Amino acid sequence: MTNHSEIQHHSQTNADLITANAALLAENQRMAELLAALQNNGDRKVDSKKTNADQHEEHQSESNAKTGETPPKNGRRRTNPFSEEIMNFKMPKNFTLPMTLTPYKGIGDPKVHVTKFESMMFLNSDSDPILCRSFPTFLDGAALLWFFNLPAGSITNFDEFAKMFINHVAASKIYIRDSNYLSTIKQGQHESLKDYMTHFTTGAMEIPDLNPEVQLHAIKSGLRPGKFQEAIAAAKSKTLEKFQDKATSQIEIEELRETQRSERPSFRKEEDRPYRS
């Protein structure tokens, strides 16, 4: 049988456990209340900051409304000369820009530049938004600065864009070569006819509305004195086509002679010399 002292010991142990458990529950409750109080205090601070910010923004808006000023925006702002319809157009995934067209820097005929651009772009697409968004890629220097200074939304189609570009270049009095420039192109002392024709044709392409008769007279005058110039003068070619036919034949003769000269062995020169005892 259990004696009286053992019963008293078990009763005291249970009482101690109940007391310790109650103390632990009370401490947990106190910590929970403390955390809740800290969280509420933080929320009040955040709400206070938001309220102050809202009040400041509202006050600033009222002030701007009175003075008519526009509040500054963060970051760099770029104006877009294209309309919303052009900018919202979705470019094709397989679209590629022509790589052979040189960007226009302000020198030369702007009409020629626009024509070259259109002819190259038509191989890919003739869509008006694509033409508009691709054309600035082929502008450089002062021409590119002019584009970015255009009013926002002022470009709605490519025809207007090209007209604005051409008129701007003409109004700026950018130097454009005329037919008098061709008289300065002369065949060099050791320049082949092929190189001279290439040089002359490149210069003629930069002159707008060039008269074929003026071009023919200039290219004849630039020939180096020699047998070919005499042959041209005697033939009296009256069209560029006839002159080019004769020039092509002469170029073939010059290239054939150059090939034979390069293939001739050097030791043949020694054999051709007369023998001396």
Phi and psi angles of residue 186, each rounded to the nearest 5 degrees, phi first: -125, 150
What local confidence, expressed as pLDDT, does residue 40 receive? 63
Q: Helices (DSSP H) in 68-157: which residue ranges? A: 84-87, 110-121, 128-134, 142-148
The structure tokens listed for 152 are 């926002």
- Mean pLDDT over 236-253 rounds to 89
The burial of 184, by beta-carbon neighbours within 10 Å (0-12 exposed, 13-18 middle, 19 or more buried), is given as exposed
The structure tokens listed for 193 are 């006819």
What local confidence, expressed as pLDDT, does residue 161 receive? 95
- Mean pLDDT over 241-264 rounds to 89
Q: What is the pLDDT of residues 7-16, one digit of tens each?
A: 455 555 666 6
Interatomic CA distance for residues 112 and 29, integer angstroms? 86
Q: Is 121 helix (H, G, I), strand (E, B) or coil?
A: helix
Q: Which CATH architecture has domain 179-263?
A: Orthogonal Bundle (1.10)
- Mean pLDDT over 23-38 rounds to 67
The structure tokens listed for 143 are 């021409």
- Mean pLDDT over 164-177 rounds to 75
Does residue 27 have a pLDDT over 90? no
- Most confidently modeled of 205-214, 249-258, 261-270? 249-258
**Full-prediction pTM beyond 0.75?**
no
- Nearest by Cα to 88 from 153, 137, 160, 163: 153
- Work out the percent of the chain whose per-residue pLDDT is above 90: 29
What local confidence, expressed as pLDDT, does residue 205 receive? 80
The structure tokens listed for 185 are 């192109």
Higher-pLDDT residue of 242, 17 = 242
Interatomic CA distance for residues 226 and 250, integer angstroms? 12
Contact 141, 105 (CB under 8 A): yes
Q: Which range among 6-20, 27-41, 73-87 shows the weakest confidence by mean pLDDT?
A: 6-20
Interatomic CA distance for residues 64 and 196, integer angstroms? 68
Q: Give the residue range(s) of CATH 1.10.1200 domains in the chain.
A: 179-263
